[in-house]
Amino acid sequence: MDKREILKNYFGHAAFREGQEQIVDCLSAGRDALCVMPTGAGKSICYQVPALLAGGIALVVSPLISLMKDQVESLIQSGVPAAYINSSLTPAQTRLALERAADGRYKIIYVAPERLTTDAFLRFARPAVIDLLAVDEAHCVSQWGQDFRPSYLKIADFIEALDRRPTVGAFTATATKAVKEDIASILGLRDPLLVTTGFDRKNLYFSVEHPGNKLAALRRIVEESPGKCGIVYCSTRKNVEQVCETLCGWGIPASRYHAGLSDRERQQNQEDFLYDRKTVMVATNAFGMGIDKSNVSYVVHYNMPKDMESYYQEAGRAGRDGEPARCTILYSGQDVRTNTFLIDHAEPNPDLDEAAQAAVRERDRERLKRMTFYCTTGDCLRAYILRYFGETAPDFCGACSNCEEGAQTADATLDGQKVLSCAARMNQRFGIKMVIDVLRGSKNERIQRLGLDRLSTHGLLADSSERYLRAVVNALLAEGYAALTDGDYPVLTLTEKSRSLLQGEAALTVRLPAQQNKKAAPTQIEPDEQLFARLKTLRAELAAKARAPAYVVFTDASLRDMCQKLPRTPAEFLEVSGVGRTKLERYGNAFLREIEDYFYPQNSPHAE
């Protein structure tokens, strides 16, 4: 079989996606590769196809046990002999797996990094014909990355120890220059082909909301996608607990995940989500690396994350099946302050000297600023993301909350000036709330006692809502026209830049919360809902039998395509996206019969 036949027969894909073919060709020709592809772009195909083209074995190093299990399950379902070796196996199981591996029974073997250099594994690997070593989540070798794992440093030792050096392919979704250099040098890549595929994920709809009540906003989002799976990221364990409890109280099947739970509960909750027993996962950022669930329809950030890198990685877990999906941040100014606090109080890294620590903090602050801009900009969000990652992008994408009709951006230069002059008149001694109260003309006891109701700015913006003024203040902070002092009672102060705004040399825009943001995600052709539901039920039965998550049998995208194409013969079934030979053999009849039965209930040959 050639690469296209393998792609179709095993994985059911009609064509390679951007970057995939180039990488397949490169690795198959024996040249190393370093591939930067965003989550969901389809990295696995890039090493799985070469693995099947090669005569020998392919090893895949992967950091997460849950990911391995899923991937291997998927491969087996697709007819590829595969296995994994990690700490979830008993010593006896490991021995058996290695014996079989030595017999050449597996084409692809997933292995945890810390297992690579164990005696047992080396005994198998040293003499074996290993053609390809794929390193997934390769940024874990770098101390610059967010997920440094010392065990990844063993990969190079392992390669050294082999009788014959395999071709090495490194894969990651994080792309900074320092990390890329680290990957190449620490893994000892030889003249690697560097492939970076586009960061755009066309099926994702991006939006930012500035809700007065985050829980209400969240409820709306969840209820807009009934029965669909979603992830809600919160910044703290406490928020996770609170949000999860609230959702459950509303009758929404939600589960939770954070580092404070026992291993067992985490494992259990993760499985509930993977197997669609619970549709919403509320989690801290501890949840997700390696979560290969393809049918996530929305990712909500209940709190703004600390930087765009984290955001895009987490949001990217939506819509991996290519279906339309939504990524929403529920922004509030408090998120900025929380993140600032976390940067300032981060555990010092013992490996870095004072100057380096300061540099890291500075870099983190800068990243936070860019993240905050994303939440307050009136420009196209997709364009902002792509440009952040160094790509060019048109000014208007039509599929984000800023491009969408109805989201408003307004010129707030004048109001911004009023806020600044009010803060100045109040001698830069008060917090945001006080400044806003004075501008709105409040006569509360404290304001009267301090005589602030006699200021010329008192009541200057009496007609504006508190919410709007908060948006103006946030924009001022984000653009550096104002600042907040540290400490328990942050005080709104002017900055060097304030003058340019006050003198009208600069302009300020705010993005006003698009509240009635009712518009749906990008249009998709609606499948026949009834048939779709029946196919889902069938899939659930088959998945239960195979003890695999439903999407390992078929993704929603495949079921939808069946509803579109309505195949009647095995040959037609093979045309369905995601259907390869093995899945045709395994499931073709069941689904063909179900479709037939749906249209002609009396004809279907039930008795067999």
Using CB under 6 A as the criterion, which residues of the chain lie in contact with ligand ADP when the complex forms?
13, 16-17, 20, 37, 39-45, 292, 294, 320-321, 555
Q: Which of residues 490-509 bind Zn ion (CB under 5 A)?
A: none
Which strand (E) or helix (H) includes residue 3? helix 3-11
Residue 280 contact among ligand ADP, Zn ion, none, beta carbon within 5 to 8 Å by kind: none
* Residue nearer to Zn ion on the CB measure, 116 or 308: 308
For ligand ADP, give the closer residue by CB, 43 or 210.
43
Which one of ligand ADP, Zn ion, none interacts with residue 521, CB within 5 to 8 A by kind?
A: none
Q: Could you tell me the sign of the dihedral formed by the alpha carbons of 457, 462, 466, 468, in that order? A: negative
- Structure tokens given for 141: 């070798």
Q: Is 319 helix (H, G, I), strand (E, B) or coil?
A: coil
For ligand ADP, the closer CB: 270 or 294: 294
Size of the site for Zn ion (CB under 5 A): 5
Q: Choose the one of Zn ion, ligand ADP, none that binds residue 403, judging by a C-beta under 5 to 8 angstroms depending on kind.
A: Zn ion
The residues, any chain, with a CB within 8 Å of residue 169's CB and separated by 6 or more, are 23, 27, 32, 33, 34, 35, 46, 47, 50, 132, 133, 134, 135
Tokens of 189: 């890549």
Which of Zn ion, ligand ADP, none does residue 321 bind to, with CB < 5 to 8 Å depending on kind? ligand ADP
- Closest CB to ligand ADP belongs to which residue? 42
Neighbours of 81 (CB within 10 A): 14
Q: How far is the CB of 380 from Zn ion (least distance, A)?
A: 3
Q: Which does 54 bind (CB under 5 to 8 A by kind): Zn ion, ligand ADP, none?
A: none
Please report the DSSP string for 426-468 in residue order.
TTT-S-HHHHHHHHTT---HHHHHTTGGGSTTTTTTTTS-HHH
Q: How far is the CB of 41 from ligand ADP (least distance, A)?
A: 5
170 binds Zn ion (CB under 5 A): no
Please tell me whether residue 318 binds Zn ion under the rule CB under 5 A.
Answer: no
Minimum distance, C-beta of residue 1 to Zn ion, in the bound complex (Å)? 41
Judged by beta carbon, residue 41 or residue 397, the one nearer Zn ion is 397
**Is-contact 349 305, C-beta < 8 A?**
no
Question: x/- site string to Zn ion, residues 383 to 402, per CB under 5 A?
Answer: --------------x--x--
Mention every residue, 6+ apart, whose C-beta is less than 8 A from residue 83. 72, 97, 100, 101, 106, 109, 110
Binding mask 367-386 for Zn ion (x = CB under 5 A): -------------x-x----
Q: Which is nearer to ligand ADP, 321 or 437 (CB)?
A: 321
Distance separating alpha carbons of residues 268 and 252, to the nearest angstrom = 18
The DSSP result for 50-90, as a single string, is: HHHHSSSEEEEE-S-HHHHHHHHHHHHHTT--EEEESTTS-
From the list Zn ion, ligand ADP, none, partner contacted by residue 397 (C-beta under 5 to 8 A by kind):
Zn ion
Kind plus residue range of the DSSP H or E element containing 131 = strand 130-135
Closest to ligand ADP by CB, 13 or 511: 13
Q: Least distance in Å: CB of 388 to Zn ion?
A: 14
Q: Which is nearer to Zn ion, 81 or 522 (CB)?
A: 522
Cα–Cα dist 61/109, whole Å: 9
CB atoms within 10 A of CB 353: 9
Minimum separation from the CB atom of position 21 to ligand ADP (A): 9
Nearer to ligand ADP, 34 or 483 (CB): 34
249/243 Cα distance (integer angstroms) = 10
Side-chain-side CA neighbours of residue 244 (13 Å): 22
Under rule CB under 5 A, residue 208 binds Zn ion? no
> What, of Zn ion, ligand ADP, none, does residue 45 touch, CB below 5 to 8 Å by kind?
ligand ADP
> Smaller CB distance to ligand ADP: residue 180 or 418?
180
Distance from C-alpha of 55 to C-alpha of 522, rounded to nearest angstrom: 44
Distance in Å, CB of 594 to ligand ADP, minimum? 22
Instruction: With beta carbons less than 8 A apart as the criterion, state whether 324 and 521 touch.
Output: yes
403 binds Zn ion (CB under 5 A): yes
Q: For residue 379, which amino acid is it?
A: D
Q: Choosing among Zn ion, ligand ADP, none, which partner's interface includes residue 43 (Cβ < 5 to 8 Å by kind)? A: ligand ADP
Rank residues 41 and 492 by Cβ distance to ligand ADP and give the closer one: 41
Binding site for Zn ion (CB under 5 A): 380, 382, 397, 400, 403
